[in-house]
Every structure is written in structure tokens, then in C-alpha cells.
Structure 1
Amino acid sequence: MDAKTGLVCAALMTHQDVDDASVLPDLLAQITADVPVDTVGGDGAYDTKQCHATIAARGAQPSIPPHEGATRWAQTTPGAGWRNDAIETIGLAPA
């Protein structure tokens, strides 16, 4: 959804056996490359390396809470900087 206009930018119906994180690339692919994506939001189900890599490849920032028990990722992992900062901010792992 475009937060400024309220318009739905991408939608996908899946079977109940399909997890949300696995279809994020398909959702973002519905938005043409010439349309900037500032932020991609989702719940903790999207806290995967694949999702963060997909978001980073699109040049966007994630707004995804790290899942319970999350640990830091190596700094070379796409999205690790933002995620590691979030983990420290919410107190999931010591600094």
C-alpha cells in the first residue's frame, strides 16, 4: 500500500500452505522498477534473510520487527545493519 495515497500497489492470493516471506519477491515485482519504494513493512514472518535481501535490492528500508529470539546477522548480510540496530534497540540482544 502506498502510505501517501492509500492505494494498494501489490496484492497476491496464496494457498494457506504458502508462507508470507516466500512471496515477498513476487509482491515487489508487481511494482515496476521505475517506481521508488521507500519502506517495506510486515510482521515478524518477514524477518528472513531472503526478505531483507529482496528489500535491500529494491533500495528500500524494512519496517519489520525481528522475531522473538532473533540474533545479530553478519554485517555482510543484506539488511543486517538495520536489523541488528533494531535488535539492540528493542533489547533482544546485548550491544
Structure 2
Amino acid sequence: MGVGEWKTRIHGIGKRRTWRKLHLGVNEATGEIVAAVVTTNDISDDQVFCDLLDGVEGEIAQVSGDGAYDKCKCYEKARQKGAKITIPPRKNAVIWQHGNCRGTPHPRDENLRRIRICGRKKWKHESGYHRRSLSETTMFRLKA
């Protein structure tokens, strides 16, 4: 945590200084930014998720994100878009829809079950979650 962040937490947000957050949707195969949303610092990542997916033209094969996107509305939006969902459940995650339900298994629950069987590291490799780092490279290029 930097000095500015510490000061903000202790004294509150100043009148002059605040920051913006840039949320990006990246095509990991090409490194191209396909969607972007700018928000104030009080908006969480999951609140912009739907806007990011709506900003993408064409088909979405896979949606990868960190644990901040482990929310029901994020899974539902990605499912509507027909995308494979590789969002790691939180460490203390519980099953949302148990196996005795008549509906189709929830993608998050399938991810969680697989993590419990083979471990988080192997799940990340099997699911393609490790490809998320390619989008992080796009952010690094943007900053540089």
C-alpha cells in the first residue's frame, strides 16, 4: 500500500485527489483490447463485468478473471454470452447448487468440485485459466 492509499484510508478522500479505474476486456489470442470501461475508485470489478461483456462484439469463447468476479451475476452474464467460465472460486467457497437439484450443474460448482479433486494449481492449468496472464501482458504494454 502506497503513501497516498494509506492517507486516503486514514483521512478519507480529499477534495482534489482521487483516481479512476480502467477495466479492460482483452482478446488473449491477439492481445487486442476489445472492451474498456472507466470508473471511479468506489466501483468494484464485478459491478462493471456486465458492461465489459456487453462491449464485446462477436462471440466470446472464454471468460477468465480473478476471484473478484466470483459472483452469481458474473457467471450468469457469461453463461448468457455462451462463454466458458474460468473464474476461480474463493478459498472458502461453498457449492451453490447441489447435485440433487434437477437443473444443470452450475459452472462455478463444477469448477469448485474439480479444484477439490485435483487442486487449484492443476485446475488452473486444465481450465486454461493460466492464459489470463496474457491479458495482464496487454495491461503492461499499455502502461509502458
- Write the distance in 1 (CA, Å) between the matches of 2:88 and 2:78: 14
1:14, CA displacement in angstroms? 1.3
> After TM superposition, where is structure 1 displaced by more than 4 Å over at least 4 residues in a row?
none
Give distance in 1, aligned partners of 2:114 and 2:53. 28
User: Taking every aligned residue pair, what percent have the same amino acid on both sides?
Assistant: 33
2:123 pairs with 1:90 = no
**Alignment partner, residue 79 of structure 2:** 56
Cα RMSD of the aligned pairs, angstroms, is: 1.9
The structure with more radius of gyration: 2
Unaligned runs of 5+ in 1: none
Count of aligned pairs between the two proteins: 88
TM-score, length-scaled by structure 1: 0.82
Query: Structure 1: how far apart are the matches of 2:64 and 2:77?
Result: 12
Partner of 1:3: 28
More helix by share: 2
| TM-score scaled by length of structure 2 | 0.56
Alignment equivalent of 2:67, drawn from 1, 25, 44 = 44
Show the counterpart of 2:90. 67
Structure in which a larger fraction of residues adopt strand? 2
Q: CA deviation at 1:18?
A: 0.5
Distance, in Å, in 1 between the alignment partners of 2:94 and 2:40 is 30
Q: Flag structure 2 segments of 5+ consecutive residues without an equivalent.
A: 1-25, 118-144
Aligned partners of 1:52, 1:36: CA distance in 2, in Å? 16
